[in-house]
Each structure stands twice: as C-alpha cells, then as structure tokens.
Amino acid sequence: MALVTVSEILQRAEEGKYAVGAFNCNNMEIVQAIIGAAEAEKSPVIIQASQGAIKYAGLDWITGMAKLAAQQAGVPVALHLDHGTSFEQCMQCIKAGFTSVMFDGSKLPLEENIAETNRVLAVARAVGVSVEAELGKIGGTEDDITVSEREAMLTDPQEAKEFVERTGVDSLAVAIGTAHGQYKGEPKLDFERLKEIKSLVNVPIVLHGSSGVPDEAIKKAISLGVRKVNIDTNIREAFTNTMRRVINEKPGEIDPRKILGPAREAAMEIIREKIRVFGSSGRA
C-alpha cells in the first residue's frame, strides 16, 4: 500500500473510539520494528520522525524507508513530521513525501501560532497532507517547574476552541500534564481539562510524552478523546538497553547484526504492547 494520511487513520480511530500509536524512528531497525509490530497486531500505524531524526538519518532516507515499509505492509501506514518548528521544515517534508506534518508553534504567542499553522495548512490542504498543531507547552521531564508554572503550560480549553475554529487544523496536541522523556515519578494527567477541551473542539486529540504513562491513564485519556499517542522514550529504552545488555554479555562481539537484531526485537515487543493498550489491534 502507499502511505496514507494521518487524518484517514484518525478518522477511523474516531469512529471506533480507539487510538493509534505514533512511534518515533531514527534508523532502519526502528522503522522495521514499528512495521513488524503493526503487522503482527494487524493495526494501522504512524511512523514519525523528529527534526533531529531527519538531521541524523537524512530526509530522503527516512522517507524512502517509510515508503518501502508501507509498500510492503498489509496495514495502513502514515509518515508524519514530529514537532516541526518552522514553515520551511514542514514544506521540505511535504515535498519529500510525508503524508502528515506537525507544526509546533507552542513556543509562539497565540496569534503567531495561529498564523503560522494557517500558512502550513494552506499548502498542506492543496496537496492532501494532514496537519497537527500544538497548543499549550508539553515540556521535558527534566524541566524543574513549580505547580503554578505547570498550570501555565497546560492547554487552555477556551483557547483550544478558538485555535481550532480559526485554523481548521486536523488534530490538536494538548498539554495536560505529560512530558517528553523519562518521568521521575508517576505523571498526573489533568483529565478534567481533557474532558473540557474535547467538549469544545471536534478534532482528534494527540497525546505527547506518552512513554511511562501508566496503561490505565492512557486508556482513560483515549476514552476522553485521545486518538494519537506518541511514543519515543520507551522505544529508545528497549532498543538501547538491549544493545547494552548484549555488549556486556558478549564483550568480544563485533557483528553489528548480533547487537542490533535483538535490539530491533525488543523495540518491536514494546511497540506491540503499546498497540494493544491503545486498542488498535485488529483495526487494519
């Protein structure tokens, strides 16, 4: 199959009231782990690449690997830019063949975020690419913040309503208490806020920083309207910890395949587990 858009995948998720995993990739083994997991679970899947991943692997390599993966797969696959912070980056990905982009204007003042999101949307609409935007600030787990600072970062429901009305964006990433990276304690999600946002906007909601969020909290967020769940850190942990274990166990091993192969397996296992939690198994 050719790559499909994230909108197509999320529209079906909305109808079926489940969520689809968006998994970050950096290299061939992780792309294969994502596709292998989606095929084993008969689930639609979103492969996403950050600006850092694109810089590391190269835009054409990421696009080429995802296109090949989709062609060979028997499940719907989308290729999405994660946290694109400029109009130019979004355009480069659209030109290369991404079927979805995130314009992350969360660091911009509201009016600028709306204006830049609309600039990306105008082009994306013309060529059939979907667009995700972010409102509120999803920080990193390393950020040391006070309770009131945290509150100020969370998505304001009325602002979300205005944002969606003035952009017509396809999906919205919200800040409800999750953060990127490894959590120190258990993250506390603001479900009341999520409920209110969902009552005011009629687009699929995206949850970032989902690694390390307990399964029950993820399921509750899905029951309240989350349709795309972003996972990176849990894949990094599975992949890198496995490489480290193999190297420690066999210090003389020099065959990369003997180190990367088990890492790919471990990444695939964790992705399968996530897909089951999100409820998208058997939905391809």
Distances 161 to 189, 211, 239, 261, 271 between C-alpha atoms, Å: 20, 27, 39, 46, 32
| Residue placing its CB nearer to ligand 13P in the complex, 57 or 231 | 231
- Of 1, 17, 52, 68, the residue at the interface with ligand G3H (CB under 6 A) is 52
- Residue 149 CA, chain-centre distance (Å), reads 25
Q: Does residue 228 bind ligand G3H (CB under 6 A)?
A: no
Q: Which long-range contacts (CB under 8 A, 24 or more apart) does 162-166 make?
A: 163/110, 163/113, 163/114, 163/117, 163/133, 163/135, 164/201, 164/202, 164/203, 166/114, 166/118
Q: Does residue 97 bind ligand 13P (CB under 6 A)?
A: no
Sign of CA dihedral 210, 226, 87, 160: negative
| DSSP 8-state class, residue 95 | H
In sequence order, what are the residues at sequence separation of 6 or more whose Cβ sits closer than 8 angstroms to the Cβ of residue 17?
222, 223, 279
In the bound complex, what is the minimum distance in angstroms from residue 101's beta carbon to ligand 13P? 13
d(CA 241, CA 206): 28
Say what angle helices 59-72 and 28-41 make with each other, to 10 degrees: 20
Considering only the stretches 85-93, 149-157, 205-213, 246-254, report the one whose residues sit in contact with ligand 13P under the rule CB under 6 A.
Answer: 205-213
E strand segments, 111-249: 130-135, 171-174, 205-207, 226-231
Q: Does residue 198 bind Zn ion (CB under 5 A)?
A: no
Phi, psi of 2 (to 5 degrees): -80, 165
- Of 208, 228, 264, 274, the residue at the interface with ligand 13P (CB under 6 A) is 208
Q: Does residue 82 bind ligand 13P (CB under 6 A)?
A: yes
Q: Which of residues 212-231 bind Zn ion (CB under 5 A)?
A: 230
Q: Does residue 242 bind ligand 13P (CB under 6 A)?
A: no
In the bound complex, what is the minimum distance in angstroms from residue 254's beta carbon to ligand 13P? 31
In the bound complex, what is the minimum distance in angstroms from residue 60's beta carbon to ligand G3H? 18
- Of 12, 137, 198, 208, the residue at the interface with Zn ion (CB under 5 A) is 208
Q: Does residue 24 bind ligand 13P (CB under 6 A)?
A: yes
Q: Does residue 53 bind ligand G3H (CB under 6 A)?
A: yes
d(CA 161, CA 152): 17
Q: Does residue 118 bind ligand G3H (CB under 6 A)?
A: no
In the bound complex, what is the minimum distance in angstroms from residue 253's beta carbon to ligand 13P? 28
In the bound complex, what is the minimum distance in angstroms from residue 44's beta carbon to Zn ion? 19
Q: Does residue 106 bind ligand 13P (CB under 6 A)?
A: no
Binding site for Zn ion (CB under 5 A): 208, 230
Which residues are annotated as catalytic? 82
